[in-house]
Chains A and B, each alone.
Chain A
Amino acid sequence: MLLPKFEYHEPSTLQEALKLLSDLGGNAKLLAGGTDLLVRMKRKIDKPSHVISLARIPGLDEIVPRNGHSVTIGSAVSAAKLAGHELLSDRFTPLAMAAGRLGAPMIRNRATIGGNLVNARPAADLPPACMVLDATLKLKSASREREVLVNEFFRGPGETIIEQDELLVSIDINTPAPWSGGSYIKLGARKTLEISMVNVAVMLTLQSPDGSITDAKIALGAVAPTPVRALLAEKQLIGATPSEALFEKAGQVGVGTCSPITDHRGTMEYRCMMIEVLTKRCLMQAFERAKSWRPGR
């Protein structure tokens, strides 16, 4: 499969990239890992006349911890780097886990967090993880800069609030409170190179190892046109004493948030059943991690 012709740009500063993006308008596409864009160009879904590579822009591929209170992740950080990052695995667990389930090893070496968010596929791995971590996205254009919550970022399949001249620069996440734990579960027909049939990300915060739940976040993917937060299910959990029965109830309530479709990956009925089971399972895992939270770092 051949790529159509295009003009290639390789800016070495962010300013230069933003200038190109604003000058070229809708004729340009940003190239990060290329694992989505180049496939779409080969299939003639995207036909940009200009491709702007982000590879030479310094800092975009860095993970910067901020004194323990937050972390800044450059938009061109690869899934492999996220999955193998000790601090992310320890404190921002759903994100590291989701990155480890994205595609296959070769895809993870190229695919980036920015690309996975901006492409806004309903079944993508990283959006639900970013949603339960309450990530903030920094968007920049040649003339302005703004910060948006990831929970307000997605509009529909392949659609976000990002403007044509904007670039997603970084993802900022505050460190979860003490006694927090999270998890991510992806269900597909096979273990790798799979697009989720359902995916679930969860963060739980406890008052103390044997105390009640003070905060809960659940996000579900591949069950609606965009990844969704299961707010009603979260409400069931906050203030309650953790138990298997409670988590089961949350799973049942969580199904109400979803509007899954029947497609070749699975039926609507099967997806609903799996949302229930996987939400409960993911909550159990998050609870175990929250209980064994350790200070330091």
Chain B
Amino acid sequence: MKRIIQMTVNGEPVELAIEPNRTLLQVLREDLELTGTKHGCGLGDCGACTVILDGAPVNSCLVLAVQANGREVLTIEGLEENGDLHPIQKAFVEKGAIQCGFCTSGMILSAKALLDHNPRPSEIDIRTAISGNLCRCTGYQKIVEAIQAASETMAGSGGDAR
């Protein structure tokens, strides 16, 4: 039996009637056409489907869409500000941290969740934060550098002169 759910996706309220056996990942990609969130392993191992649920990064392949009822979801599509890429996205482009791109959405959302809680992370903090996001191109070094660069830009523009 379908259930009605209401959630906020990238700041916009949405209401949907969905079967309970559909994952948040499926609903984002298939119903809301937000295909920036990728379907990798489907078992919580690869992190390609990472989204931010109520402020915390989760594998959307292991969350039922009905479990997101009443909650707030942020996907890669919700990061741009006034048509401009988010500073983390810019840093990924500038540092060459994107190869095939399949892990990128998840990497950037894990990085965003980290920087929201910890604006000046150490290299170990960064590597831990993206440890559930697999990059089969193995471009980890540039990804770490991009997140470091983004943290500097964001801390600089935030007026927090540390």
What is the interface of chain A, defined by CB distance below 8 A to chain B?
1-8, 10, 31, 34-35, 38-39, 42-43, 51, 53, 55, 80, 103-107, 109-110, 191-193
Instruction: Decide: B62 and A104 in contact? CB cutoff 8 A.
Output: no
Instruction: Decide: B56 and A109 in contact? CB cutoff 8 A.
Output: yes
Instruction: Decide: B42 and A42 in contact? CB cutoff 8 A.
Output: yes
B20 proximity list for chain A (CB < 8 A): 6-8, 51
Given contacts A1-B42, A109-B56, A110-B62, contact A193 B131 (CB under 8 A): yes
Instruction: Decide: A8 and B64 in contact? CB cutoff 8 A.
Output: yes
Complex interface residues of chain B between 10 and 35 (CB less than 8 A to chain A): 19-23
Determine whether B104 belongs to the interface, using a CB cutoff of 8 Å to chain A.
no
Partner of B131, one of A6, A7, A35, A191: A191
Number of interface residues of B (CB under 8 A): 29
Instruction: Decide: B131 and A105 in contact? CB cutoff 8 A.
Output: yes
Instruction: Decide: B67 and A53 in contact? CB cutoff 8 A.
Output: yes
Chain B 46-75 interface 0/1 with A at a Cβ cutoff of 8 Å (1 = within): 010010010011110011101100000000
**A–B Cβ pairs within 8 angstroms, 28 of them:** A1-B43, A3-B21, A3-B22, A6-B20, A7-B1, A8-B3, A8-B20, A34-B62, A34-B63, A34-B64, A34-B67, A35-B62, A38-B62, A38-B64, A53-B67, A55-B67, A103-B44, A104-B131, A105-B113, A105-B128, A106-B47, A106-B57, A106-B58, A106-B110, A107-B44, A110-B62, A110-B63, A193-B131
Instruction: Decide: A106 and B19 in contact? CB cutoff 8 A.
Output: no
A109 proximity list for chain B (CB < 8 A): 53, 56-58
What is the interface of chain B, defined by CB distance below 8 A to chain A?
1, 3, 19-23, 42-45, 47, 50, 53, 56-59, 62-64, 66-67, 110, 113, 128-129, 131-132
- Which of the listed residues A5, A6, A191, A193 has the most CB atoms from chain B within 10 Å of its own CB? A193
A4 proximity list for chain B (CB < 8 A): 21
What is the minimal beta-carbon distance from A118 to any residue of chain B, in angstroms? 17
Closest to A33 in B: B62
Instruction: Decide: B57 and A193 in contact? CB cutoff 8 A.
Output: no
Given contacts A7-B1, A35-B44, A42-B43, contact A105 B129 (CB under 8 A): yes
Closest to A55 in B: B67
Expressed in whole angstroms, the Cα–Cα distance for A39 and B42 within the complex equals 8
Expressed in whole angstroms, the Cα–Cα distance for A4 and B23 within the complex equals 11
Instruction: Decide: A103 and B132 in contact? CB cutoff 8 A.
Output: yes
Given contacts A8-B20, A191-B131, contact A110 B59 (CB under 8 A): yes
What is the minimal beta-carbon distance from A35 to any residue of chain B, in angstroms? 5
Sample of 6 further A-B pairs with CB below 8 A, known A104-B131, A193-B131: A2-B21, A7-B20, A35-B62, A42-B43, A105-B110, A105-B132
Partner of B132, one of A1, A7, A38, A192: A192
B67 proximity list for chain A (CB < 8 A): 31, 34, 53, 55
Given contacts A3-B23, A42-B42, contact A110 B131 (CB under 8 A): no
B45 proximity list for chain A (CB < 8 A): 193
Instruction: Decide: B3 and A106 in contact? CB cutoff 8 A.
Output: no
Expressed in whole angstroms, the Cα–Cα distance for A23 and B122 within the complex equals 52
B42 proximity list for chain A (CB < 8 A): 1, 42
What is the minimal beta-carbon distance from A145 to any residue of chain B, in angstroms? 27
